[in-house]
Amino acid sequence: MAQFFQPKKKTQLNTKHQSMTVDKLDHQGAGICFQKGKPIFIDGALPGEQVLVQLIEEKSKFSRASLIKVQKASEQRVKPFCPVYDQCGGCNMQHLGLESQLEYKQQTLSDLMSKFSGQTLALESAISGEGLGYRRRARISVMLDKKTRQLQFGFRRKQSKQIVDVTHCPVLAPELNAMLPELHQLLQGFTRQESIGHIELVKGDNTNVMVLRHLSPLTNKEQKQLEAFAVKYNATLYLMPQTDQLDRVLGQEAHYLETGTTIPFAPNNFIQVNQKVNQQMVEQALAWLDLDGNDRVLDLFCGLGNFSLPIAKQVKAVVGVEGVDAMVEKAQSNAALNQLDNALFYQANLEQDLSSQPWASEKFDKILLDPARAGASGIVDQLARLGARRVVYVSCNPATLARDSQSLLKQGYQLEKLGMLDMFPHTAHLESMALFVKRDGK
């Protein structure tokens, strides 16, 4: 008898409001309840709370629910300071006090590292800064509403492409916040508002930076208005008519000054968003490396030289390696600007075999790596043969740090120090730093 495939009927989602008790937080800051052993994730809920929820997604191994009402609040719950917190996708932890956020992030880091590395280690004191006005960079989304013909200006909604209108953001640097209301008003007068892509704002130490992405040419009047606006707010103005084209129209190149080092940057270069935390992070990394004047240091994923250049002031030689050619050229230029002739920079894809690279045949006393969220799986297995006794790993994803630490432990390193860096207060995002030391005889 022929058999015919019959697809399983989709289980209808039970959207009836349900009362649940929150057990704990997950690593993304969502509350977790358990129903017949299956976890239900609820954004905005805190451990110990009784909450009224509505299921919005149901899978075989987990479900998600939206928070309808907090029936019994946690003592740790605080009132969010941002009036659009419930809508904006920028922050997701404002309902938890800042000190409690630090405790949660430290526990998250500790749990992940002990689970994957098999080591339980007391964390160093957390590096943190101000909870307000800390962001020196923001991308403002701009979109013309087809129905109302109103120009939306702000940040993306939670889990949506829609825009929440924002002309003041409490976590944005005051110098950038001051620009928002007038910038919104200025763009409302443009003839082709639908062709405005986005606005990038960055605070440098010598100038602010504004980038306008536009999909069609600006009129002479519009460009003159932007230039006058930039002058008023001490901003360097860039126009971006194409994705890969960045034209500086007005102003000087921006830079930031940290650990006594001047680091110029273009608006499309990566820089850490939290200047105070970055300063402390660099200082701690240098201290953990235990540098001396005879050291040769390798800085992997070096970017503009955020770590390389301060290191170069204390050691015999630094080699920085980065995947993007433009960043390598910029880092070498930054070294020359700071009169550092002991820093060399190379381009290499750190996900590939590096044995043919000229620097990979050399030996180094210390290594620092600061990879992106994907981690350093392509290079981490090769670190021991480079001869380093100390490795400092700076991570923006504790899960990939935990994974990569297993390789370092197998290579004979021991995890000696571990600390959390609160680069993004009021979000679940955490950065961390780990020190691995090679012991004699291993």
Which H or E run contains 200? Answer: strand 196-203
Largest CA distance in the chain: 83
Task: Answer yes or no: is 292 a known binding residue.
Answer: no
Task: Answer yes or no: is 302 a known binding residue.
Answer: no
| Of the candidates 283, 347, 290, 345, the residue with the CA atom closest to the CA atom of residue 315 | 290
Task: Answer yes or no: is 82 a known binding residue.
Answer: yes
- Tell me the two tokens of residue 347: 């381009």
Task: Answer yes or no: is 103 a known binding residue.
Answer: no
CA 171 from centre of chain: 14
The set of residues, in sequence order, having a beta carbon less than 8 Å from that of 59 and lying 6+ positions away, is: none
Task: Answer yes or no: is 325 a known binding residue.
Answer: no
Q: Which of 311, 396, 421, 428 is catalytic?
A: 396
Look-up: residue for tokens 């290079």? Answer: 379
Task: Answer yes or no: is 33 a known binding residue.
Answer: no
Task: Answer yes or no: is 397 a known binding residue.
Answer: no
Task: Answer yes or no: is 88 a known binding residue.
Answer: yes
How far is the C-alpha of 306 from the C-alpha of 431, rounded, in Å?
A: 16
DSSP state of 96: B
How far is the C-alpha of 137 from the C-alpha of 274, rounded, in Å?
A: 9
- Tell me the two tokens of residue 433: 């730093």
- Tell me the two tokens of residue 411: 């290579």
Q: Are 261 and 325 in contact (CB under 8 A)?
A: no
For the question of residue 33 being annotated catalytic, the response is no
How far is the C-alpha of 63 from the C-alpha of 39, rounded, in Å?
A: 6
Q: What amino acid positions are annotated as catalytic residues?
A: 396
Q: Which residues are annotated as a binding site for S-adenosyl-L-methionine?
A: 272, 301, 306, 322, 349, 370
Q: Which residues are annotated as a binding site for [4Fe-4S] cluster?
A: 82, 88, 91, 169
